[in-house]
Amino acid sequence: MQQERLKSANVRPEVISDDATAQKRLLRKLFNLRGPAPASDSFMRVQDRYLFNENHVASIIYQSDLDMIRPKIYLWQGDITQLAVDAIVNPANSRMLGCFIPNHGCLDNQIHTKAGIQLRLADQKAMAGERLEATGKAKLTPGFNLPAKFVIHTVGPVIIHQVTPLRRQLLADSYQSCLKLAEQKDLSELAFCCISTGEFRFPHDLAAQIAVNTVNDYLSSHINAPDVIFAVNSDLDKALYLHELEGE
């Protein structure tokens, strides 16, 4: 009967492979497609145990493992979801519910997958009935199964044709909003990704300049601000941030 329903609806049932990698991709796909809704206690126990094991296969990185580039500022190249810090920054979209594209490579997708289905439900609660999140603002949720205690979500500016003064200011606003929220919550460590440089197409060199200048300005005027970790993926971004931080 179920097969007949699927056939009439033109839906192809998933074929579950014996390959572990394929099974993990299928599970991630299901996580990505699932809307914000509670799940049974038994499911949550299985999911949390699975994600704990998966997230600890890779090395967990602590602030003490990192080299300080400037007072209160660190630069680290690697997967931001490995950082066991007070909070990591998620480059969110305006719906603030995570990426729904199955197995997409964006950081928003990775963070929601590794945190578990609880994160999308927490996103929905954080929005509190708002339809879209404004660019340059920030919201905080628990990190759930991530090594990080919290996730701070911010919507950076999207570049369509060129970088305008408004887009520059909105990117700076995203960094400031995250820092302000972290300080309000008495967080000691905040790890930034390269906001807006992925799917949102902000030029990497200009984004690094804005990120470093904004963080420097904030730290110089807020004695209770958290330590900042710039978490970059590529050699290019690492070089750009080093250039800005070392003033070369």
Model pLDDT for residues 91-148, shown as the tens digit of each residue: 999 999 999 999 999 999 999 999 999 999 999 999 998 999 999 999 999 999 999 9
- Name the pTM for this structure: 0.92
Mean pLDDT, the chain, rounded, equals: 93
The 10 Å CB-count burial string (b at 16+, else e) for 138-163 is bbbbebbbbbbbbbbbbbbbebeeeb
pLDDT at 4: 46
In the chain, % of residues over pLDDT 70: 94
pLDDT at 14: 66
Confidence band for 15, pLDDT divided at 50, 70 and 90: confident
Q: What is the DSSP pairing of strand 73-77 with strand 227-232?
A: parallel
Q: Quick check: 5 pLDDT over 70? A: no
Query: Domain 34-246, what fold?
Result: Leucine Aminopeptidase, subunit E; domain 1 (3.40.220)
With beta carbons less than 8 A apart as the criterion, state whether 200 and 156 touch.
yes
Quick one: average pLDDT of 221-237? 98
Confidence band for 10, pLDDT divided at 50, 70 and 90: low
Task: Count the Cβ atoms, other than its own, within 10 Å of residue 230.
Answer: 25
Nearest-5° angle of CA 197, CA 203, CA 208? 75
Q: Quick check: 39 pLDDT over 90? A: yes
Confidence band for 9, pLDDT divided at 50, 70 and 90: very low
pLDDT at 189: 98
pLDDT at 2: 43
Confidence band for 1, pLDDT divided at 50, 70 and 90: very low
Q: How far apart are CA 38 and CA 118, in angstroms?
A: 8
Give pLDDT tens digits for 54-99.
998 778 999 999 999 999 999 999 999 999 999 999 999 999 999 9
Give pLDDT tens digits for 185-217.
999 999 999 999 988 999 999 999 999 999 999
pLDDT at 59: 86
Quick one: average pLDDT of 164-175? 98
30: amino acid identity, one letter: L
Domain regions of the chain by residue span: 34-246
